[in-house]
């Protein structure tokens, strides 16, 4: 009896995933900027807006950061171009850097050992972008800024309001 309930629940779950996939758009691409990397994004219609969930994997300062963002595509300026869409969003990131010294407010801080140290970090991100969606090709080109505040251990706070980048993504 338990096996039948498990199989029926699994089939209902799998069929509901394929039905909701009709309203989703997926993207994969590159973000080229200060915290550049590769990303994967899933977006869907939500009333008058389009909501996307973006996962970014970036390699920076001999380390690795994973960023998750919620992006809201609200405004389309059809006067300029019907394919130009502005978006805003928020999220967070976590990861690590590997360093033998840290720079904070113009000062250099060196660790006692020469081999370096893994420094974990966690942060909060914002998102603002202008995206152009090509209709002839399945490509999106975006000019975006992702300001962030992060706390790196051992106890350094970094505020970066200017993380500008260009993103190119394949839509499928």
pLDDT digits (tens, 9 = 90+) for 139-153: 999 999 999 999 988
Determine the pLDDT at residue 106. 78
Q: What is the pLDDT of residue 95?
A: 95
- Block residue for tokens 């029926």: 8
Name the residue among 19, 13, 23 with its Cα closest to residue 43.
23
Q: Strand, coil or helix: what is 17?
A: helix
Domain boundaries, the chain: 25-171
Average pLDDT over residues 121-131: 96
Class of domain 25-171: mainly beta
Alpha helices in the chain (DSSP H): 2-20
17-68 residue pLDDT tens: 444 444 568 999 999 998 899 999 999 998 888 999 999 999 887 889 999 9
> Mind giving me the DSSP string for 102-124?
EEETTEEEE-SSTT-EEEEEEEE
CB under 8 Å to 22, separation ≥6 — which residues? none
- Give the pLDDT confidence score for residue 158 in this predicted structure: 86
Task: Output the pLDDT for position 135.
Answer: 85
Q: How do residues 64-120 score in pLDDT, each as one tens digit?
A: 999 999 999 987 777 788 889 999 999 999 999 887 777 777 788 777 766 667 889
Q: Tell me what pLDDT residue 3 has.
A: 59
| pLDDT for residue 166 | 97
Rg (CA), the chain: 20
pLDDT tens column, 129-140 = 999 999 899 999
């Amino acid at each position: 009896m338990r096996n039948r309930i498990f199989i029926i629940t699994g089939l209902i779950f799998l069929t509901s995933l394929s039905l909701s996939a009709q309203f989703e758009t997926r993207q994969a691409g590159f973000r080229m900027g200060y915290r550049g990397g590769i990303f994967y994004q899933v977006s869907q219609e939500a009333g008058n807006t389009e909501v996307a969930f973006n996962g970014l994997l970036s390699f920076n300062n001999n380390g690795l950061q994973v960023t998750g963002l919620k992006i809201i595509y609200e405004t389309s300026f059809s006067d300029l171009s019907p394919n130009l869409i502005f978006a805003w969003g928020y999220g967070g990131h976590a990861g690590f850097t590997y360093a033998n010294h840290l720079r904070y407010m113009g000062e250099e801080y060196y660790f006692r050992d020469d081999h370096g140290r893994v420094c974990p970090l966690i942060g909060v991100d914002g998102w603002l972008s202008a995206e152009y969606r090509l209709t002839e090709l399945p490509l999106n080109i975006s000019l975006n800024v992702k300001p962030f505040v992060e706390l790196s251990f051992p106890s350094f706070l970094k505020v970066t309001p200017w993380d500008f980048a260009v993103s190119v993504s394949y839509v499928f």
